């Protein structure tokens, strides 16, 4: 069974985010209000300006409101989580980093399409690299869809935003600098 990404490079062990950082965020998510979202966007703009620009470009598209909210709020959370988990070791993501993550995911999906017997999806591959983060994103997505179940939702827009977020997870993972004295150990 082919579980590791063939096109997606492994995330170094020192860049994998522990579930405890996400638990703290998740515990506070019930209290999320406009001030928290605004603060996260301000941090996003300051810490990851190219990522902020990419999010803003997506948010200005004529897409489903749930898809917009998901990409804006979740990107702010992702940056907060990575900064908290890896203080002082996050480099700024360049536009090329975002594009490289998307192109890598395109290649990974194409390789998987060529193997119809392969049960794993792109989300599974990224989840193998950052299991706590992808699990958290899945819970947020499921909760958001459930909360909006009475409304008409464009699932293609939501899927596109979620896929974009998977690319951001990879770009942020590769932007973590090694701690002093660490080797680039890869997860097993």
pLDDT digits (tens, 9 = 90+) for 30-39: 545 677 778 8
When pLDDT is averaged across residues 65-85 and rounded to a whole number, the result is 92
Return the pLDDT at 156: 92
Asked if residues 6 and 120 have their Cβ atoms less than 8 Å apart, the reply is: no
Phi-psi region of 158 (alpha: psi -120 to 50; beta: other; left: phi over 0): alpha
Q: What is the pTM of this model?
A: 0.88
Asked if residues 93 and 51 have their Cβ atoms less than 8 Å apart, the reply is: yes
**Helix, strand or coil for residue 13?**
helix
The C-alpha atoms of residue 133 and residue 94 are separated, in whole angstroms, by 21
Half-sphere exposure for 11 (CA within 13 Å, toward CB): 23
Cα–Cα distances in angstroms (integers) from residue 52 to residues 44, 99, 103, in the given order:
6, 14, 19
Burial state string for 99-114 with b = 16 or more CB within 10 A and e = fewer than 16: eebbebbeebeeebee
Return the pLDDT at 119: 63
Residue 37 tokens read as: 């979202």
pLDDT digits (tens, 9 = 90+) for 82-140: 999 999 999 999 999 999 999 999 988 888 778 777 667 888 889 999 999 999 999 98
Q: Where are the domains of the chain?
A: 33-174
């Amino acid at each position: 069974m082919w579980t590791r990404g063939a096109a997606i490079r492994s995330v170094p062990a020192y860049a994998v985010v522990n579930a405890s950082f996400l638990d703290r965020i998740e515990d506070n998510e019930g209290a999320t209000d406009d001030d928290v979202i605004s603060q996260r966007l301000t941090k996003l703009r300051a810490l990851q300006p190219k990522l902020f620009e990419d999010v803003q470009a997506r948010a200005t598209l004529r897409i489903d409101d749930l898809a917009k909210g998901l990409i804006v709020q979740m990107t702010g959370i992702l940056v907060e989580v990575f900064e908290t988990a890896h203080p002082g070791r996050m480099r700024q993501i360049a536009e090329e980093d975002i594009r490289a993550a998307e192109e890598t995911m395109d290649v990974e999906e194409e390789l998987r399409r060529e193997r119809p017997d392969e049960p794993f999806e792109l989300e599974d591959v990224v989840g193998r690299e950052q299991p706590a983060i992808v699990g958290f994103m899945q819970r947020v997505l499921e909760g958001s869809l459930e909360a909006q179940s009475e409304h008409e939702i464009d699932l293609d827009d939501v899927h596109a935003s979620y896929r974009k977020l998977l690319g951001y997870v990879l770009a942020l993972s590769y932007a973590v600098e090694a701690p002093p004295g660490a080797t680039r150990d890869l997860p097993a």
